[in-house]
A and B are shown apart, each in its own frame.
Chain A
Amino acid sequence: MNGFSYLLKKDLKMMLSGKFFLLAFLSLVLYSAYINLVYVRLEQGRYPVYVCDPNSRTAANLAYISKAESRRELEKACADRTSVGIDFTAEKSEIYMLSSGSEKTDHYREIWGKAVLTGIENTKTKTVGLYDKEEKSRREITAEFLFFELSAVGFLGLASILFKEKQMGVIRVHGILPVRKSVFILSKLCVFLFSDLLFTALLTGINVGVSDSFMILPAALLQAGILSLIMALIGLICAALLPDFKQFSLFYLVLAVFITTPVFLAGQTGISWKWLRYHPMHHLFTAMKSAYFGASAASVLYYVVCLGAIVLLFCGAVGALRREAAREG
């Protein structure tokens, strides 16, 4: 127990000297600034309708319509491939559009353009969701940033600290110390887990709001804990097996680009690829997002698989560490 507390203290000091906490704090500031100053203000407006009507053939005060003074101005306004132009200059009125590249979207733009001329208005529609746009945006992006931080950025920070120990050769020194490899790994896991959980609580509190956070945090902390342990163990195995940090960063690049991108794409756009169900990160991502939206908890199978993966990775990390300790040179 005494050995474990010394290891814990040493790991904490390593993280402090490696500016791990400072980087995590900077990430927190960067993410929060982006969420509050940019993301929650994002909006996708309706298709603009421009009318060029010098002879006032249409009603002047229709909703959703913008005036264009000339055909040239109309064409310029429609260059964004989303706007619909209606030209009343000639005898026969003309709908002018630049194709968006999708026939269906163009068709909708056309009927929308025609409809607004007839004085269409918004009607109250039943809503079935629990959140408004801002609440949804805050929860969604917080979950995504947290996933990104834990699976990619935090993973990099963790590995950088492990590589420092490896370069100094102290991993090998631990091989001949009267301390079990599992304790060596456990102390690291504890420190990283604590750091990640603190990060989760702060990111959620700042960006979702304190009162909502109380509802979200139990589930979010559980998912963050699972992800943190898995990524920390993968990072540890990689640090022990890969010869240098450069090779690790290559691996990281591949991981970030090819493994997390499809998950994000699916999460952000609603694309559903069948093969995605075999992507382990997809399940972790979905569980994290569900935690932020109060959706029903993941299945028992999910937790059993996560636990199994953590145990397996832990054994793998112990093995990798033994191998590193025995390595020469």
Chain B
Amino acid sequence: MRRLKYQLKNIRRDKLCLLTFLLPIVVGALIRALPALNFQAMNEISFGSVQGDLSEEMSRWLQDSGNLTEYENVKELKAAVNDPATQLIGVLRAGNGLRVFLSGDEFEMYRTIGETLPQLYEKRADRAVFSKKVIPASEDFDGMKSLLIVITLVTAMFMGCTFNSMNMIGEKEDGVSLVNQILPMDARTYIFQKLALGCIGGIASTLATAFLCVRILPRQMAFLFLLVTLSAYFASLIGLLIGHFSSGMMAGIGCIKIIMILFLAPPIVFYLLTPADSLAYRLSYLFPSSAAFYGLMGLLNGQGEKWLLHLGILFAHAVFLTIVSKKAIFAS
């Protein structure tokens, strides 16, 4: 315990580790502290029209379903529709109805909206009798905000690998790794110490971030804690491997960068773009961060029924990597 205290002191004074620790916390606080920034608005449908072209009723109808931006002339409107960064739908008046033009490079959703918009406008007066039940989003719910929070939390969890890998690489660069070899300490103790460093760093950073930006029920806390612990342990194992096999600081930082990309990008892409019951989505569980990511998304969206599956997958990943790491480290 005393040794761990000094090791923690050492990484606490390492600016890179400190920044790694604080960065998710700061980002989490920013996400929390910016209620004015409505992330959900980013997902709303964007319509563009020419000033004075649409009737007041048309404008109001469009504004009920999305955001309407007016441009000075058709040329400007066309340029905005064509902007590859947007999914803007160009709307012009055609007598009493609407005429739509698209860029042609839109996602299916926006193409369908564009292609059906004139009909929807025509049928606006149809009054089929339906009662309506809309389950409101919790006060905090904002799909995009949840996504950002989960990305931040997963980053914090897997940043755990930075703490022990940087510590081990630092030992190599300072020559302390040579001193370690003549200390009365066996390899297991050393590995345990380094794993503990990564775990403590990862767990503390994630929980501090979660404290700032996650609001969950007390009964969900145990799940969150287990998820964070397993992920941090996994990241710590990765850190151990990076620290052990990296020849120097530059190689280590390069490895961490690649690991962060590999851990963060796949679950985001699969979560956003593949249906939850597809084969691709299921295969994405091969990435250890996917289970953590989906588990946290479910937790924040109130869909916690798969928590056992997510914990199980993470546990399996952790066991597998423990065996692989043990073999790799002792063989070298």
CA distance A129 to B85 in the complex (A): 13
A124-B115 CB under 8 A given contacts A107-B64, A293-B84: yes
A115 CB within 8 Å of chain B: yes
Q: Determine whether the beta carbon of A86 is less than 8 Å from that of B130.
A: yes
Q: Determine whether the beta carbon of B105 is less than 8 Å from that of A131.
A: yes
A118 CB within 8 Å of chain B: yes
A-binding segment of B15-23, B186-194, B321-329: B15-23
Kindly provide the distance from the CB of B115 to the nearest chain A CB, expressed in whole angstroms: 4
Q: Determine whether the beta carbon of B120 is less than 8 Å from that of A126.
A: no
Kindly provide the distance from the CB of A111 to the nearest chain B CB, expressed in whole angstroms: 6
A128-B101 CB under 8 A given contacts A94-B131, A122-B112, A269-B42: yes
Kindly provide the distance from the CB of B173 to the nearest chain A CB, expressed in whole angstroms: 9
Interface residues of A in 110-143 (CB under 8 A from B): 110-112, 114-115, 117-118, 120-133, 135-137, 139-140
Can you name 15 A-B pairs with beta carbons within 8 Å?
Answer: A93-B128, A95-B131, A95-B134, A100-B137, A100-B143, A102-B38, A104-B45, A104-B66, A105-B66, A108-B65, A111-B65, A112-B113, A126-B101, A129-B105, A271-B42
What are the interface flags for A250-274 relative to B under an 8 Å C-beta threshold, 1 for contact and 0 otherwise?
A: 1001000100000000111111000
B59 CB within 8 Å of chain A: no
Quick one: which of B65, B90, B101, B134 contacts A97, CB cutoff 8 A?
A: B134
A160 CB within 8 Å of chain B: yes
Kindly provide the distance from the CB of A319 to the nearest chain B CB, expressed in whole angstroms: 25
A102-B133 CB under 8 A given contacts A128-B104, A246-B249, A267-B85: no
Q: Determine whether the beta carbon of A46 is less than 8 Å from that of B112.
A: yes
Kindly list chain A residues whose C-beta atoms are within 8 Å of the C-beta of B66.
Answer: 104-105, 108
What are the interface flags for B107-143 relative to A under an 8 Å C-beta threshold, 1 for contact and 0 otherwise?
A: 1111111111011100110101111111111000111
Q: Determine whether the beta carbon of A99 is less than 8 Å from that of B135.
A: yes
A115-B84 CB under 8 A given contacts A93-B129, A110-B132: no
B residues sitting closer than 8 Å to A (CB atoms) are 14-16, 19-20, 23, 38, 40-46, 63-67, 78, 81-88, 90, 99-116, 118-120, 123-124, 126, 128-137, 141-143, 249-250, 253-254, 257, 265, 269, 273, 276, 301, 303
Kindly list chain B residues whose C-beta atoms are within 8 Å of the C-beta of A120.
Answer: 116, 119-120, 123
Kindly provide the distance from the CB of B83 to the nearest chain A CB, expressed in whole angstroms: 7
Kindly provide the distance from the CB of B28 to the nearest chain A CB, expressed in whole angstroms: 14
CA distance A124 to B15 in the complex (A): 58
Q: Determine whether the beta carbon of B119 is less than 8 Å from that of A121.
A: yes
Q: Determine whether the beta carbon of A270 is less than 8 Å from that of B83.
A: yes
A42 CB within 8 Å of chain B: yes
Q: Determine whether the beta carbon of A44 is less than 8 Å from that of B85.
A: no
Number of A-B contacts (CB under 8 A): 212
Q: Determine whether the beta carbon of B130 is less than 8 Å from that of A94.
A: yes
Q: Determine whether the beta carbon of B115 is less than 8 Å from that of A123.
A: yes
CA distance A276 to B63 in the complex (A): 26
Kindly list chain B residues whose C-beta atoms are within 8 Å of the C-beta of A102.
Answer: 38, 40-41, 43-44
Kindly provide the distance from the CB of B81 to the nearest chain A CB, expressed in whole angstroms: 6
Q: Determine whether the beta carbon of B128 is less than 8 Å from that of A114.
A: yes
Q: Determine whether the beta carbon of B136 is less than 8 Å from that of A99.
A: yes
Quick one: which of A46, A121, A129, A267 contacts B104, CB cutoff 8 A?
A: A129
Q: Determine whether the beta carbon of B104 is less than 8 Å from that of A94.
A: no
Task: Taking A100-B143, A163-B250 as given, write out 17 further A-B residue pairs in contact, using a Cβ cutoff of 8 Å, ordered by the A residue number.
Answer: A43-B107, A45-B109, A92-B131, A93-B128, A102-B44, A104-B44, A104-B45, A114-B126, A117-B128, A118-B128, A123-B115, A125-B115, A127-B104, A128-B78, A128-B101, A130-B104, A269-B42
Kindly list chain A residues whose C-beta atoms are within 8 Å of the C-beta of B131.
Answer: 92-95
Kindly provide the distance from the CB of B43 to the nearest chain A CB, expressed in whole angstroms: 7
What 6 pairs between A and B have smallest CB-CB spacing? A127-B104, A136-B105, A129-B103, A108-B65, A44-B107, A270-B86
A23-B254 CB under 8 A given contacts A118-B123, A129-B105: yes
Kindly provide the distance from the CB of A44 to the nearest chain B CB, expressed in whole angstroms: 4
A107-B78 CB under 8 A given contacts A42-B273, A122-B115: no
A38 CB within 8 Å of chain B: yes
Q: Determine whether the beta carbon of B249 is less than 8 Å from that of A127.
A: no
Most buried by B among A108, A112, A140, A289: A108
Q: Determine whether the beta carbon of B135 is less than 8 Å from that of A127.
A: no
Q: Determine whether the beta carbon of B119 is less than 8 Å from that of A128.
A: no
Kindly list chain B residues whose C-beta atoms are within 8 Å of the C-beta of A268.
Answer: 85
Q: Determine whether the beta carbon of B120 is less than 8 Å from that of A115.
A: yes
A191 CB within 8 Å of chain B: no
Kindly list chain A residues whose C-beta atoms are within 8 Å of the C-beta of B19.
Answer: 250, 253
A98 CB within 8 Å of chain B: yes
Q: Determine whether the beta carbon of A115 is less than 8 Å from that of B40.
A: no
Q: Determine whether the beta carbon of A107 is less than 8 Å from that of B102.
A: no
Kindly list chain B residues whose C-beta atoms are within 8 Å of the C-beta of A132.
Answer: 104-105
Q: Determine whether the beta carbon of B132 is less than 8 Å from that of A94.
A: yes
A303 CB within 8 Å of chain B: no
Q: Determine whether the beta carbon of A253 is less than 8 Å from that of B23.
A: yes
A81 CB within 8 Å of chain B: yes
Kindly list chain B residues whose C-beta atoms are within 8 Å of the C-beta of A45.
Answer: 107-109
A36 CB within 8 Å of chain B: no
A182 CB within 8 Å of chain B: no
